[in-house]
Structure 1
Amino acid sequence: MPRVKKPTKVKEPIRLRTKKLSDGSKSLYLDIYRNGKRTYEYLKMYLIPETDRNARLQNEVTMTAANAIKSKRIIELTSGEAGIVNHRDKIYLLDWMDTYKEFQEKRNRKKCVAHIKTVVRLLKEYAGERVILDQIDMAFCQGYVDYMMTSYRPKGKPIAASTQHTYYLVFTGALNAAVRAKRLLRNPFNEMDKSEKPKKPESVRSYMTIDEVRALIATPIKNEMVKNAYLFSCFCGLRISDIIGLKWKDIFVDRGQYRLALSMQKTKEPIYLPLSPEALKWMPERGDKTESDPVFKLPTAINARLKPWAKAAGITKQFTFHTARHTFATMMLTLGADLYTVSKLLGHADVRMTQVYAKIVNEKKDEAVNLTNGLFD
């Protein structure tokens, strides 16, 4: 038989390598082999010890940026461009935005990715496509904010204040990632005065009162599983995404107390919740379901199915599935739970995120006290 020749493995002309440093971090460099000669290009980018989740995420951003430089160098080398070793790397802003988008895609942050795509279009309109990342300074960032607030008209009209704040967060987030990846010395947004940055308008949190929850309980609905899931959320505070992802294996009993443990879909943070008898009341029977089966088998278009139910219950305020989470928070605070505990039950990373509910409860207290006005005149 003729001898089958094994395919020759083509060596990469440029390899990304690491060099361990005395402080435990690793320096990234390119090992370049060309025309029988080996040279090195140190990227001034570093991998830090992965002691926590933030360190791992920072290293992912750094590696994505380093691999982008490596790919660019290979293109330059194979296309015959001279001076590759002495070439000083220049990253275009829009190329970095693409790198940042890829990083968010790996983390499965679909909403963030969509916002990044919009910000890329905004940046093209504001500054064109040839801006170098190193050129981003205070004046550029101030101009970006001014253009976004006064001139940007994607649909023929100004964008809302909340949208301005979102697009500011996306761009400053991309610049912070560039700083962590050693591609930018500093983020100019961090040096701007607070008054110069787009402000997030205080959102109106629609929630159900205890009487309205009672009315919903008493009102029938076509799909009972949708009703059960909403009321379950009212008594435990889970988002719809977490309820959809909730499996029977996530529910367990600890010393007589039912609890659930899962990683939240939105933040990827673990959450451990005790389940009250009122919450358990709205869980379906397990029957012969397996550990991997969903607790709630829900249809699509949840909010469209909820609105007729709310209308039948006499509720006229804004009503979506997320009002259940708001209802849980305000109900806990109204009944005397402290802010820190409620923050942990909601899975908030910062207690300041929970303070908006405290404001709602305080307003209710003000309204209650003022009910006596004029009674004794």
Structure 2
Amino acid sequence: MATPSYVPDPLIEGFLDELWSTKGLSDNTLSAYRSDLLHFDAYLQQRQLSLLAAGRDVIQDYLGLRYDNGAAKSSSARLLSSLRRFYGFLLIRQLIGDDPMALIASPKLPRKLPDTLSEADVEALLAEPDGDDTLEGRDKAMLELLYATGLRVTELVGLTLEQISLRQGLVRITGKGGKERLVPMGEVAIDVVSRYLKLQRAALLVAGQSDVLFPSSRGRMMTRQTFWYRIKLYAQRAGISKALSPHTLRHAFATHLLNHGADLRVVQLLLGHSSLSTTQIYTHVANARLQALHAEHHPRG
């Protein structure tokens, strides 16, 4: 962060506290905002400026420096989002008179299609864990539930017993922004999770009682990094060579629903997207799949 004498502007933590208390943003999002603002603040201090004194020209100089250093468009777009939100916060608090971000345009980013798996790949992945083994039985239940519900990985690893109703076949999720949604599980996921609760969960609670639905081998809440490692392990064993991400099964859930005729707004509700435009990217994946099927099977494809 430039010099050992650097002292972060306290406005940054005040801004992040405000976001945490009013917007319910995830730790990862807050961490990204913090990183962006600290780097910008350090740059300003090197120029003997402050966050309150930074004008549009200074911000553009900083963006130009990042461009010269090879910063990716996606990284710059995230930085601009952080700065827009931060200076909007300062404007509302009347700590500045004008918004220096008002006339700064964001870089246009190509719409990136999410990585996903075919239905055959998903079947192979879900079949890989050994349902009779303690850890793999837990992982099998997690994978089945993830594909059946389209949860975010952070939502999955944080699930508690009270959030799931096997009798009703529903999972109650509090997602981004503190918004709650009910997601149906499906019969296969209900059966696999029921079996896991009967046969394996108690063996994982080595440290006593816990309300975590899928505890780690140490009886605590699993990290998303650990679960991501487990997904990659089963994908490798299943012979899946495609690039995967922690949200691969979430993407597959949405894409496969649309492939089978689900309404886009229903998929939006199930995924917990606040905007339909966020969900619409999956229609590109579904359309590409339909075009491929048409080309393969239609006599004049």
Fold equivalence (TM over 0.5) = yes
Which residue of the partner structure matches residue 28 of structure 2? 111
Paired residues of 2:56 and 2:101 also in contact (CA < 8 A): yes
Aligned positions of 1:160-239 closer than 5 A:
160-192=72-104, 196-221=105-130, 223-239=136-152
Using the size of structure 1 for normalisation, the TM-score is 0.63
Cα distance in 2 between the residues matched to 1:247 and 1:323: 23
Distance 1:298 1:354, change over 3 A: farther
Percentage identity across paired residues of the two chains:
21
Please list every run of at least 4 consecutive aligned residues from structure 1 whose deviation after the TM superposition is greater than 6 angstroms.
none
Q: CA deviation at 1:302?
A: 1.8
Alignment of 1:50-129 (within 5 A): 94-104=9-19, 109-115=26-32, 116-125=34-43, 128=46
1:1-377 paired onto structure 2 within 5 Å: 94-104=9-19, 109-115=26-32, 116-125=34-43, 128=46, 130-133=48-51, 135-150=53-68, 153=69, 158-192=70-104, 196-221=105-130, 223-252=136-165, 257-264=168-175, 266-285=176-195, 286-287=197-198, 293-299=211-217, 300=222, 301-371=226-296
Partners of 1:269 and 1:328 in 2: CA distance: 20
Unaligned runs of at least 5 residues, structure 2: 1-7, 203-208
Aligned equivalents of 1:271, 1:233: Cα separation in 2: 15
How far 1:214 sits from its partner (Å)?
A: 1.8
Choose 1 or 2 for highest CA Rg. 1
Q: CA deviation at 1:312?
A: 2.0
Mark the runs of 5 or more structure 1 residues left unpaired by the alignment. 1-92
- Bigger relative contact order, structure 1 or 2 (CA pairs below 8 A, ≥6 apart): 2
Distance 1:104 1:324 in 2: 29
**How far off is 1:147 after superposition?**
2.7
Residues 280-317 of structure 1: CA distance to partner in whole angstroms, max 9, x if unpaired? 1331444598x962222245522222223112212110
- Distance in 1 between residues matched to 2:17 and 2:73, nearest whole Å: 27
Aligned residues of 2:128 and 2:238 also touching (Cα < 8 A):
yes
How far apart are 1:361 and its partner, in Å?
0.6
Of Structure 1 and Structure 2, the greater helix share is in 2
Give the strand-richer structure, 1 or 2. 1
Describe the superposition over 1:3-62 as per-residue Cα deviations: whole angstroms up to 9, x where unpaired.
xxxxxxxxxxxxxxxxxxxxxxxxxxxxxxxxxxxxxxxxxxxxxxxxxxxxxxxxxxxx
The one-letter code matched in structure 1 to 2:156 is I
Cα distance in 2, alignment partners of residues 133 and 125 from structure 1: 10
Measure how far apart 1:133 and its partner are.
4.9
SS in 1 for 2:212: coil
Give the whole-Å Cα distance in 2 for the aligned partners of 1:133 and 1:321.
35
Partner amino acid for 2:274?
Answer: A
Q: 2:267 corresponds to which letter in structure 1?
A: V
Structure 2 counterpart SS, 1:278: helix
Q: What is the aligned-residue RMSD (CA, Å)? A: 3.1
Shift of 1:108: 7.1
Shift of 1:376: 5.9
1:310-333, Cα deviation, whole Å (9 max, x unpaired): 122121101244211111111111
> What is the aligned length?
272
Any conservation in 2 of the 1:248–1:292 contact (CA below 8 Å)?
no
Paired residues of 2:152 and 2:247 also in contact (CA < 8 A): yes
CA shift at 1:223, angstroms? 2.0
